[in-house]
Amino acid sequence: MLRGSQQTILLTAGQPCINSISAVPFVRGYSVLPPTNDEEEKSMLHRMMRVDHAGEYGANRIYAGQMAVLGCTQTRPLIQEMWDQEKKHLSKFNEILGDNRVRPTLLLPLWNIAGFALGAGSALLGKEGAMACTVAVEESISEHYNSQIRTLMEKDPEKYTELLQMIKEFRDDEMEHHDTGLEHDAESVPGYQLMKAIIQTGCKAAIYVSERDVCVCTDHLEHKRAVFAF
Amino acid sequence: MYFFYSLCICNHIGCMRSPLWLDMAALVRALRAGRALRGLGSVAVQGTVSPQCRNARRGFHCATLLRLADDSKSGTSVPPPSFHEVPTAGESSSSSEPSEDGQPNTSYQDQSGEHGEDYETEEQLQVRILTSALEFVPEHGWTVEAIAAGAETLGLSSASTGMFNNGAGDLVLHFVAQCNAQLADTLAEQHNLVQLGQAESKEMAEFLRDAVEMRLRMLIPYIDTWPQAMSILLLPHNIPDSLKHLSTMVDDIWYYAGDRSTDMNWYTRRAALTGIYNTTELVMVQDSSPDFEDTWAFLDNRIKDVVNMANTAKQVQATGEAVVQGLMGAAITLKNLTGMNQRR
C-alpha cells in the first residue's frame, strides 16, 4: 500500500477540510495489516479495523463527555491522561484506515452522540460514577481485543505479527485504564453492579452492530480488476 | 473407430449455425485423434471415448482425451484446447453450455491465443469475447448480436453467446469494469510520478475534474449508443453490479486525490462525487458541442459548487461554535449577576 504518501500530497488552502493529513508522529516504515489478495481475509481484516476504529472513537467521546462535566474538578488530570492515550489509539487507527482504504463505519455519528452522553451522564454521578463507567467500558474493550487476538492467533500468528503486537499493546493500555478506574473508587458508586452491567451490555450491542455494518455498494469488486490483469 | 469420427462430427452438425469449415476442422482433428488412438492400441480408451462423449460435458471430455492423444502421439505444438478450471462450482454450472461450442473449436482455431502450458479459464475467455465484441457495439448496439459478432472474430461460434446469462448486461458491465480498471491504473501511475517527484501534484478540485473527464472520455467512442447502455445498467438485476462499479470508481478517484478521511466526510465526499459523475454523464450523452466542451464546463461548475459548499459548511461550523461560546458567556454572566454562581 502507499505508505507515507500523505505527506507528499500537497494541498493548497481553501479546499475541503481534510483531517488526518497533518503529521502524525508514528513510524511509517512498516504496514500493520499484512498485504493480501484473498478477498475473504481482506474483508475480515477490514471489518476488524472498522470495529476497532469505531470503538476507539467511542472511547474518545466518552472521555470527552466526562471531561466536559468534571473538567473543573480534581479528577481533570486523571481523565486527561487516559483521554490522551485514547487519542493516540484513535490516530493510529485513522492511519491504518487511511493506508489500507478501509471504509469507516456509517454509525460514527451515533457513537459520537452516544459516547458523549454516556461519559457526561456517568460523570454527573461524580468522580466515582465516571470511574465506574471507565471500568465497565475498558473491560468490554479489553474483552473485545482479546477475542480478536484469539481469532488472529488461531488463523496465523506469523502473518499477523505486527497487527497482534499492536492490538496487544492497546489491550494492555485499556487494562491499565481499567485498573486505574478501580483504584480511584469506582466500586463505591451506588448501584455499581447495575451500572456496570448496563454499560457492558450497551458496549456488546455496539460492537455487534458495528461488526455487521455492511454497506452493500461500497464493498468493492476487487477481483474484477484481477481479471484484467492477466 | 469410425463410429467415433461420426459421433464427433454429429456433435458439430447438431449445433446451431455451425459453419461447414468448422465441421471440416473437427473431422481433420478427429482423424488425427483416430490415428493416435489406433497407435496407442488401447481398446479401453476407444471403448470409453464414445459413451463419455455423449454426456452433457462431452465437449470437455472429448477435448481432454483428444489432447491426451495428441500430446502423447504427435508431440507437435498443437495448441491445447481451452477448458475450464476444474473444481469451481460456480463456473461448472454455467460451463455445460459453452462446452458445446467453445471447446471442440478453440483448440484448433485458437492459433493466436494461448499456446503451451497456459490454459484459459472460462472467465478469461469471456473477457476476450466481450472485449472483441466492443468493436461491434457502434454497429449492433449493446446487444447479444454484438457479442455474437465478437465471438465470431475470435473464431468461435456465435452460439457461444449462450455463455453470457445476462446478455447485453454482461457486455456493458464488462466495458464499465474495463474503463474503471484503466482509470485506476492511470491514476496510480500519476500518483507514483508525483511521489517520485517527477510530476507536480494537482490541487484537489483540478484533480477531481481531470479524473472525471478522463473517465468520461472513455465513453466517447460509444457515446451514440451510451443511453442504451445506461438503461441496461438501470435494470433491476444489473443495479447491484453497476452500483458496485460506480462506488469502486469513486473510491479510487478520491483515494488518489488524497482523501484519507475516517469520519462522515468519507461518505459525503463519495456521495458528492457520485452525483457529479452521474449528472455529467447525463449531460454528455446529449451534448453536441465540439469535443464536448459544454460537458467539461458543466463538470467544472459542479466541482466548484461542491468545493464552495464544503467551504461554506466549514464557515457555518466556525460561526456556530462562536455563537455557542457567546451564549455560554452570556449565560455565565447572567448567573453571576443573579448570584446563582456562588459556591457555598
The per-residue pLDDT for A221 is 46
Question: How far is Cα B4 from Cα B99, in angstroms, rounded to an integer?
Answer: 18
Query: What would the DSSP string read from start to end of A1-18?
Result: --TT-GGG----SSS---
Question: How far is Cα A6 from Cα B256, in angstroms, rounded to an integer?
Answer: 10
Give tens-digit pLDDT for B109-160: 455 444 545 678 888 999 999 999 999 999 999 999 999 999 999 998 888 8
Q: For the range A215-221, what are the long-range contacts, defined as Cβ-Cβ under 8 Å and sequence gap of 24 or more?
A: A215/A103, A215/A106, A216/B240, A216/B243, A217/B240, A217/B243, A217/B244, A217/B246, A217/B247, A218/A103, A218/B247, A218/B251, A218/B270, A219/A43, A219/B244, A220/B244, A220/B247, A220/B248, A220/B251, A221/B177, A221/B241, A221/B244, A221/B245, A221/B248
Mean pLDDT along residues B228-235:
96
- Chain A nearest CA to B258, separation (Å): 6
B181 and A16 within 8 Å at the Cβ level: the answer is no
A6 and B269 within 8 Å at the Cβ level: the answer is no
The per-residue pLDDT for A214 is 72
Residues 122-141 of B with CB under 8 A from A: 123-124, 127
- DSSP H helices in A71-221: 76-100, 108-123, 127-155, 161-183, 192-211
Contacts B260 to A, Cβ<8 Å: 6, 18, 20-21, 94, 97-99
Give tens-digit pLDDT for B303-317: 999 989 889 989 999
pLDDT level of residue B2 (50, 70, 90 thresholds): low
A220 and B247 within 8 Å at the Cβ level: the answer is yes
The per-residue pLDDT for A229 is 45
Give tens-digit pLDDT for B186-206: 999 999 999 898 888 888 899
The per-residue pLDDT for B16 is 47
Asked whether A219 and A43 are in contact (CB, 8 A), the reply is yes
Angle at A160 between CA A155 and CA A162, to 5 degrees: 160
CA distances from B209 to B159, B292, B299, B301 (A): 43, 14, 7, 10
B266 and A103 within 8 Å at the Cβ level: the answer is yes
pLDDT above 80 (res B47)? no
Residues 206-245 of B with CB under 8 A from A: 240-241, 243-245
Which DSSP letter does residue A218 get? G
Residues above pLDDT 90, as percent of chain B: 51
Q: Which of B85, B269, B24 is CA-nearest to residue A218?
A: B269
The per-residue pLDDT for A211 is 86
Mean pLDDT along residues B272-295:
95
A218 and B270 within 8 Å at the Cβ level: the answer is yes
Largest Cα separation within chain B, whole Å, is: 114
ipTM: 0.79
In single-letter form, the type of residue at position B141 comes to: G
In single-letter form, the type of residue at position A22 comes to: S
Contacts B258 to A, Cβ<8 Å: 6, 9, 11, 18, 21
- Point out the residue among A20, A109, A219 whose CB comes nearest to the CB of B260: A20
Mean pLDDT along residues B282-292:
94
Question: How far is Cα B1 from Cα B342, in angstroms, rounded to an integer?
Answer: 111
- Chain A nearest CA to B243, separation (Å): 6
pLDDT above 80 (res B338)? yes
The per-residue pLDDT for B310 is 86
pLDDT level of residue B94 (50, 70, 90 thresholds): very low
pLDDT above 90 (res B240)? yes
Give every residue of chain A whose pLDDT is below 50, as ranges: 1-29, 221-227, 229-230
Cell (9 digits) for B67: 489432447
B269 and A16 within 8 Å at the Cβ level: the answer is yes
Question: How far is Cα A169 from Cα B320, in angstroms, rounded to an integer?
Answer: 39
What radius of gyration do chain B's Cα atoms show? 30
Residues contacting residue B220 through CB under 8 Å, at least 6 positions apart: B292
Asked whether B281 and B295 are in contact (CB, 8 A), the reply is no
State whether residue A212 sits within 8 Å of chain B by CB: no
pLDDT level of residue B344 (50, 70, 90 thresholds): low
Mean pLDDT along residues B59-81:
45
The per-residue pLDDT for B97 is 42
Q: Which of B262, B277, B315 to mutate to test the interface with A (most CBs of A within 10 A)?
A: B262
- Point out the residue among B195, B248, B307 whose CB comes nearest to the CB of A8: B195
Residues contacting residue B69 through CB under 8 Å, at least 6 positions apart: B33, B36, B37, B40, B45
In single-letter form, the type of residue at position A133 comes to: C
Q: Which of A32, A27, A66 is CA-nearest to residue A177?
A: A66
State whether residue A161 sits within 8 Å of chain B by CB: no
Helix (H, G, I), strand (E, B) or coil at B41: coil
